[in-house]
Amino acid sequence: MSKKTVKDLRGFAGTHVFVRVDYNVPLEDGRITDETRIRASLPTLEYLIKGGARLVLASHLGRPKKGPTPELSLGPVAVRLGELLHREVKVASDCVGDDVRKQAEALKDGGVLLLENVRFHPEEEKNDPAFARRLALDTRSTVFVNDAFGSAHRAHASTEGVAHHVKRALAGLLMEKEIRYLDMAVHPKERPLVAALGGAKVSDKIQVIEALLERVDALLVGGGMAYTFFRAKGFPTGKSLVEEDKVPLAAELLKKGTGKIVLPVDHVVASKFAADAEHRELPAQEVPDGWMGLDIGPITRRAYAERLRAAKVVVWNGPMGVFEMKPFAEGTLAIARAMADSKAVTIVGGGDSVAAVTQMGLADKIDHVSTGGGASLEFLAGETLPGVACLEEA
């Protein structure tokens, strides 16, 4: 898959460019606690600013339910973005309307206007055509650039609808990078391709597992989802997390993925779901009554790490254990280290997986750390992302 990008724009000085960014950042008392998504947008913005574009930025923040919510205002984001861009970033009082028109018309070449939270309008998530048209017209935009991969799986007015009311619809540099790397796992050209999937539930990743089984050479399973597979194999699982209604599906996947699906051979079990719980390392088919599995064991860690280091392309999504509790974080950390040590093309997605490589200072040793959670999963599952499909083909 290949899309035209901002690099395909020519002579865009003075052009109003509507850029959908992903500034859905965590806030505490109006303070940004993680600015990764803001920094990820800088290459696209700096490229457009250098060329003299007049930038109108749009994003959502949180899930406002009843219109404008002061604590979900993008005001703090505008301040920090201005510091990072070394220029003033004006913030609009809304994302459509007379004031927005006036502020958009007042923009100079290289100027930046950040619209207020688009989800303050219910029409945004409904992808209302009239609202999408207003986003383009009221901001005087003739070019749409989508750089919000994390929201590309949603057909919303600012991620898909506005593309139909401008002359050009292009990918930002972050969007282009996401597509390029994730496509290596969807259409692999080098082997072996190894995927490591963790997280709590099989149901969250059913489509991804089914799609990857057709492409990967090995699918390494960890996290809570492993116990639904264990139940399907007849192993005792104690009080471990098991999706009872998904056990038959897990059995079907094991049959379909014979020789590809790799399950833990040992694990760390605990007497309760707590950091101070008594815990033991046991073979995978052993769980004391009333105990629960909370991480992959040391033998599995070494085996998974060897698989990852021997691969040509590796994609990892989801923790191998209860990463938030130190006694059960080693499995996730082992995968992070193996990814960093691998000579393969390495791709990491999912909040906890990204957190692991970031907290260990390994993010710069990963070829691509995805900004999209649900979007990356749907992409890997081979689904069409509306916010990508609406962009011009290369």
Which residues are annotated as catalytic?
Answer: 37, 201, 351, 374
As a whole number of angstroms, the distance between CA 108 and CA 142 comes to 16
Contact 182, 382 (CB under 8 A): no
Residue 265 DSSP code: S
SS3 81: helix
As a whole number of angstroms, the distance between CA 167 and CA 393 comes to 14
Angle, CA of 205, 210 and 376, to the nearest 5°: 50
CB atoms within 10 A of CB 337: 18
Residue 118 DSSP code: G
DSSP string, 271-282: SSSSTTS-EEEE
Residues forming beta bridges with residue 281, ordered by sequence position: 268
Q: Which amino acid is at 351?
A: G
Tell me the Cα Rg of the chain: 23
Contact 295, 267 (CB under 8 A): yes
Residue 168 DSSP code: E
Tokens of 9: 């724009």
* Nearest of 280, 336, 279 to residue 304 by alpha carbon: 336
Angle, CA of 164, 167 and 170, to the nearest 5°: 80
Report the sign of the C-alpha dihedral through residues 265, 269, 274, 278, in that order: negative
SS3 283: strand
* Nearest of 178, 219, 215, 185 to residue 202 by alpha carbon: 219
* Nearest of 385, 380, 384 to residue 183 by alpha carbon: 380
C-alpha separations of 126 from 48, 60, 132, 159 in Å: 29, 14, 10, 11
